[in-house]
Amino acid sequence: MHLRSALACILAAASALAQSGWSSPTLVTELNTTASDTAPHLSIDGTTLHFASYVSGDWEIWSAKRPARGMPFGPATQETALGSTSTDSGPFLAANGLEIVFESLRTGGQGGFDLMRSTRPTESAPWGTPTFITELNSTGSEASASMTADGTEIYLLSTSFGAPYAPNNSIFVARRPNAQTPFSTPALVAELAATQGPSDSHRDVEISADGLRIHFTRYDPTSRRINVYEARRTRRSAPFGTPVLRTEFANVGTSLGVYSITLSFDGSEMFLAAGFPVASGSQELLVSRFEGLSSNGVAATNSTMGLFYRDSTSPFAPYALALSAGNAGFALGTRTVPLDADPIFFSTLAISIPGLSTGFLGLLDGNGESTGTLRNPVAAAAGIHLWCGGFSIDPLFPFNVKTISNSIELELQ
């Protein structure tokens, strides 16, 4: 195959990075109002967006549906069963669609904002009467809760529970053995607090469905902007790595910046709420799409990691994925492949290996998207760290490679 022979020509140095990243956010015009619209959360199937809006003259929770990811939403509907005469915001829909968590200033709580939950027997049934999640609330404020898909970890903001820079928010986590039992007392996520300054305040936090990726927004008093950060880990029991500033969103919004974010299950779509002039509604909803390789899940002997490759400039083009033992990278002409040119790379490039991988070679669909999977084929391989990357193939480009994606780290378990 041309791609395999082309990539065998490893050059010395590099001058360009992988061609991946988030697109410039665009307004979600069908949902924005002349009031503030904020705190979006996208359902795990990507078809329902919950958010908070002040369009009624009070902060209330709304939802809107669409037939499929990437399509416009239909009209928004106020979730009146969740409402009160006080502020209600920060909705998060559980992966099963039968539980929703949000923050409220209504009476009956323990402090400022308190976390509440509501349940329903089916996704078509109305929400039940909300109740306070007492084990997660304090005399301070708790907000912006999100859960892993299995419901055993919940991440939240709090000014209490030993928050190091109270009354500024810090990020906490609480755990439980299963989705039917109460959560533990929230504990500070120390590795994220370590990067927080005394005057910095976290404004939003969302954990990914697999618990391996966390996004949060944080106010920087020096720049007077709210910025978006991302941190990753390769297993749930490990601490998160150093947070990375997502510079693609540094200039989004004309007032303060990005307040809140939510990601799709596959990590390829992000909805944001950013600040704008009061005349425009103060906060508006926006959407961005990721070009490159993203993932969800764990490559284990008993579970499968999903891989999602997107190159919207190359619909119906051939593509290939590859693994390597590192990401020091090598040069392909003037571009960098963010994988190591090691034996693993050459034995997996454009090859789906039974028991290990699927979808490592094929054609992108009409949207320039494809999927693959990874699985740990043998228990003895547990603990091995690998990197995965992707390529779009076009004979009109040098080495027949049009696009080189980012690489993602994974751990076989």
Residue 383 has pLDDT above 90, yes or no: yes
pLDDT value of residue 293: 97
Instruction: Kindly state whether residues 334 and 222 are assigned to the same domain.
Output: no
Instruction: Kindly state whether residues 13 and 40 are assigned to the same domain.
Output: no
Position of tokens 């490759």? 309
Is residue 167 reached through a cis peptide bond, with omega within 30 degrees of 0 on the bond before it?
yes
CATH number for position 396 = 2.60.40.10
Give the mean pLDDT of 158-181.
Answer: 95
Give residue 368's domain range.
2-19+297-411
Instruction: Kindly state whether residues 82 and 7 are assigned to the same domain.
Output: no
Residue 281 has pLDDT above 70, yes or no: no
pLDDT value of residue 316: 98
CATH number for position 186 = 2.120.10.30
Instruction: Kindly state whether residues 157 and 93 are assigned to the same domain.
Output: yes
Instruction: Kindly state whether residues 54 and 180 are assigned to the same domain.
Output: yes
Using the Cα atoms of residue 116, residue 128, residue 95 and residue 58 in order, give the sign of their dihedral. negative
Position of tokens 């010395």? 12
The C-alpha atoms of residue 391 and residue 352 are separated, in whole angstroms, by 15
Question: What is the DSSP pairing of strand 369-374 with strand 153-158?
Answer: unpaired
Question: What is the DSSP pairing of strand 369-374 with strand 357-358?
Answer: antiparallel
pLDDT, tens digit, 9 for 90 and up, residues 124-165:
999 999 999 999 999 999 999 999 999 999 999 999 999 999
Instruction: Kindly state whether residues 261 and 405 are assigned to the same domain.
Output: no
Task: Select from 289, 322, 355 the last residue of a domain.
Answer: 289
Residue 10 has pLDDT above 80, yes or no: no
Residue 282: pLDDT band (50, 70, 90) is confident
Instruction: Kindly state whether residues 117 and 261 are assigned to the same domain.
Output: yes
Instruction: Kindly state whether residues 205 and 243 are assigned to the same domain.
Output: yes
pLDDT value of residue 255: 84
Question: What is the DSSP pairing of strand 114-119 with strand 269-275?
Answer: unpaired
What backbone torsions phi and psi does residue 347 show, to the nearest 5 degrees? -90, -10
pLDDT value of residue 394: 96
pLDDT value of residue 199: 86
Residue 303 has pLDDT above 90, yes or no: yes
Residue 33 has pLDDT above 90, yes or no: yes
pLDDT value of residue 401: 96
pLDDT value of residue 311: 97
Task: Select from 237, 257, 289 the last residue of a domain.
Answer: 289
pLDDT, tens digit, 9 for 90 and up, residues 58-77:
999 999 999 998 899 999 99
Are 43 and 61 a contacting pair, CB within 8 Å?
A: no
Give the mean pLDDT of 307-315.
Answer: 97
Mean pLDDT of the chain: 93
Instruction: Kindly state whether residues 248 and 320 are assigned to the same domain.
Output: no
pLDDT value of residue 97: 97
pLDDT value of residue 254: 86
Residue 13 has pLDDT above 50, yes or no: no
Question: What is the DSSP pairing of strand 153-158 with strand 142-147?
Answer: antiparallel
Give the mean pLDDT of 7-33.
Answer: 69
Instruction: Kindly state whether residues 310 and 234 are assigned to the same domain.
Output: no
SS3 assignment, position 301: coil
Domain count, the chain: 2
Residue 24 has pLDDT above 70, yes or no: yes
Residue 277: pLDDT band (50, 70, 90) is confident
pLDDT value of residue 143: 97
Residue 16 has pLDDT above 50, yes or no: no
pLDDT value of residue 3: 52
Task: Select from 239, 265, 289 the last residue of a domain.
Answer: 289
Residue 80 has pLDDT above 90, yes or no: yes
Instruction: Kindly state whether residues 404 and 369 are assigned to the same domain.
Output: yes
Instruction: Kindly state whether residues 78 and 170 are assigned to the same domain.
Output: yes
Give the mean pLDDT of 267-291.
Answer: 88
Residue 2 has pLDDT above 90, yes or no: no
Residue 4: pLDDT band (50, 70, 90) is low
